Amino acid sequence: MADPTVVKAESLAFAPIATAAAAIRSGAVSPTELTEAALARITAVDPVLHSFVLVAADLARAQAARAEEELAAGVDRGPLHGIPVGLKDLYATKGIRTTAHSRVLIDWVPDEDASVVVRLREAGAVLVGKHGMAEFAFGGPASDGVFPAPRNPWNLDHEPGGSSSGSGAAVAAGLCFGALGSDTGGSIRKPAAHCGIVGLKPTWGRVSRHGVVPLAWSLDHAGPLARTVDDAAILLGTIAGPDPLDATASGEPVPDYRAGLEQGVRGLRLGVAWDWVHEMGTIDPDVLAAFEAALGVLEAEGAETVPIPSAALIAGRATNTLIITAEAYAYHEAGLREHPERYGRSVRGRFRGGAFMGAADYLAANRARTVLRSQVREILGGVDAIVSPTCARPPEPLVGLDPDARFREPSFVNPYNLLGIPAISVPCGFSATGLPIGLQIAAGPFEEPLVLRVARAYERATPWHDRHPALG
Amino acid sequence: MAGTPDRLSSGFAPGEAEGVADLLARAAAAGLPLSEDEARGLLTSVRRLDAMGDEVRALIDPAVEPAGPAVAPWRTPRS
């Protein structure tokens, strides 16, 4: 007969963080039981999912035991206390190998935690492990990676989206309650959309990047992947804020991101850049149908959808691509000269492109960024938020997938890295083949409460977040 | 040899040998190891980046960036 406490913990595998936190405080389950259930599920499921490159079982057990002792002693660190979470393997973790999924860093064991890892620890979270990703967060699944490429829990033959691929897969599969990813051109929002979960790229500087292996400094954002909007709000509230170790981290006050979640969208004006949505005619019919249905839901909830100009959002792709390429090459220049063979074929080629750009190209892209930001600010003067699909197509089969192809296609996500404004992806349906589709909501700088509020209004009105992949 | 298309292997499309030779020369100048095959694989990407460079230059409007480019989104006239 099964141990009843283990069954109880397992039944919480897909629970919202607040539900698991309440179960801990009611005594229905302990942090240790929750952690053991997560570790058991990882053991059962991850050999086919490949979402973790390292499982920190001993650390997790120790952190869970400490959380249990603290809660028993009346020390309550908040909703993450005793909750198992994961990290994309580019967050420095003290004493734990951190590889960025690359042979270049295969032996790197940091001697300090990234600032946000410290914050998670101080919030009492339990780190169950490090997630697989695209090598150095640049691109898609690669056949020559140092670890197997993570797979999509909804269909293991498909990609989970990247670059925070393992984080998206693990959270969607119920292997942890949330994760931190990074987003330089959509790398939190794409896996969120492809795995049927929530992913939030905050305002640039909202979350410290100290101790996060960079891809492109002026475009990199750290942020959460979670199964619900409330979970994303909890995680963001834990990691947001100034950091003396990161000069780019903003001192803007951190609001309570959960406070306004239930305010709804009545009276909000949501902009739709239709020419962008239809750019190059590549949008999948199932994605378009899901997006149009999502607009209908938001309108039924009281929002007004209005057309907005597309030019600045379309132009953002080229500008973003140039800046990523130049900054990434600058970071990897020495490595590409001295040991190029340690990089995977795909990412090596992409990084090398930066060697052939001039300083004037980079600065031209930054000048264009300023212009585009001004244009989008003007658009946001007339609407509260901008909505779009997150990805133009559902997840693609891994066999035959060209990780470089998507860099030649329209993107609904990377302009918001360029602009530095917050954007969230929330599940908005499934393709005819049963693969998840995401809705993206973006707003002005530090308007995270607004994008969370719109996302929550949509989530509350739809059933998508209640569906989970059948694994394990 | 870098920069000399007549010394490259055969089988290039029109204009490709010159492009590959140019990449090899530029890679050598940058101290970047690059084989002929790798340069050939990179050529399309580099040409696309060049086209993007032209695209972004067409966007520049000195009237909206009198103090030069700004990175942080809150460092805008609105704030």
Q: What are the pLDDT digits (tens) for A212-260?
A: 999 999 999 999 999 999 999 999 999 999 999 999 999 999 999 999 9
Q: How far is CA A320 from each of CA A220, A282, A313, A417, B55, rounded to the nearest angstrom?
A: 11, 20, 11, 7, 12
Whether residue A365 and residue B53 make contact (CB cut-off 8 A), yes or no, is: yes
B71, part of any domain = no
Residues B60-77: tens digit of each pLDDT: 988 877 666 766 666 543
- pLDDT for position A4: 55
Residues B31-59: tens digit of each pLDDT: 899 999 999 989 989 999 999 999 999 99
Q: Select which of A51, A187, A218, A425 is catalytic.
A: A187
Q: Select which of A30, A51, A88, A425 is catalytic.
A: A88
CA distance A2 to chain B (A): 54
Q: In what order do the strands lie in the sheet with A423-430?
A: A52-55, A126-131, A84-88, A178-183, A221-226, A198-201, A423-430, A436-442, A385-389, A269-272, A304-307
ipTM of the modeled complex: 0.86
Residues A366-397: tens digit of each pLDDT: 999 999 999 999 999 999 999 999 999 999 99
Whether residue B69 and residue A353 make contact (CB cut-off 8 A), yes or no, is: no
A255, part of any domain = no
pLDDT higher than 70, residue A6:
no
Among the listed residues A472, A453, A467, the one whose alpha carbon sits nearest the alpha carbon of residue A49? A472
Q: Range of A39's domain?
A: 4-193
pLDDT higher than 60, residue A128:
yes
Chain B, nearest residue to A333 by Cα? B32
pLDDT higher than 60, residue B79:
no
What does DSSP say about strands A269-272 and A385-389: parallel, antiparallel, or unpaired? parallel
If you average pLDDT over residues B10-37, what whole number do you get?
A: 87
Task: Choose the closest CB to A356 out of B46, B61, B69.
Answer: B46
A167, part of any domain = yes
Is the CB of residue B48 less than 8 Å away from at least one CB of chain A? yes
Chain B, nearest residue to A324 by Cα? B49
Q: Which of B23, B37, B71 to mutate to test the interface with A (most CBs of A within 10 A)?
A: B71
If you average pLDDT over residues A144-157, what whole number do you get?
A: 96
Q: Which of A197-211, A426-440, B41-55 is least confident?
A: B41-55
- pLDDT for position A225: 98
Q: Cβ contacts of residue A224 below 8 Å, gap of 6+?
A: A178, A179, A180, A181, A188, A198, A199, A200, A231, A232, A235, A236, A239
A130: β partners: A54, A87
If you average pLDDT over residues A46-50, what whole number do you get?
A: 98
CA distance A204 to chain B (A): 7
Task: Choose the closest CB to B60 out of A367, A373, A445.
Answer: A367
B52, part of any domain = yes
B41, part of any domain = yes
Spatial distance between the Cα atoms of A96 and A109, rounded to a whole number of angstroms: 5
Catalytic residue status for A26 = no
Is the CB of residue B70 less than 8 Å away from at least one CB of chain A? yes
pLDDT higher than 80, residue A324:
yes
pLDDT higher than 50, residue B24:
yes
The CATH number of the domain where A173 resides is what? 3.90.1300.10
Collapsed DSSP state (helix, strand, coil) of residue A149: coil
A326, part of any domain = no
pLDDT higher than 70, residue A143:
yes
Q: Range of B12's domain?
A: 5-64
A358, part of any domain = no
Q: Whole-model pTM?
A: 0.95
Chain A, nearest residue to B38 by Cα? A349
Among the listed residues A447, A419, A78, the one whose alpha carbon sits nearest the alpha carbon of residue A239? A78
pLDDT higher than 90, residue B11:
no
Whether residue A352 and residue B70 make contact (CB cut-off 8 A), yes or no, is: no
B16 against B14, higher pLDDT: B16
Chain A, nearest residue to B60 by Cα? A368
Q: Which positions in chain A touch B41 (Cβ < 8 Å)?
A: 349
pLDDT higher than 50, residue B2:
no
Whether residue A205 and residue B72 make contact (CB cut-off 8 A), yes or no, is: yes
How many domains does chain A fold into?
A: 1
Q: Which of A5-19, A125-139, A282-296, A409-423 is least confident?
A: A5-19
- pLDDT for position B73: 64
Neighbours of A232 (CB within 10 A): 34
Catalytic residue status for A374 = no
Q: Exposed e or buried b for every residue in A35-48, given b needs 16+ CB within 10 A? A: bbbbbebbeebbee
A389, part of any domain = no
Spatial distance between the Cα atoms of A206 and A55, rounded to a whole number of angstroms: 29
How many domains does chain B fold into?
A: 1
Catalytic residue status for A218 = no
Residues A441-472: tens digit of each pLDDT: 999 999 999 999 999 999 999 999 999 999 86
A389: β partners: A439
A136, part of any domain = yes
Spatial distance between the Cα atoms of B66 and B72, rounded to a whole number of angstroms: 16
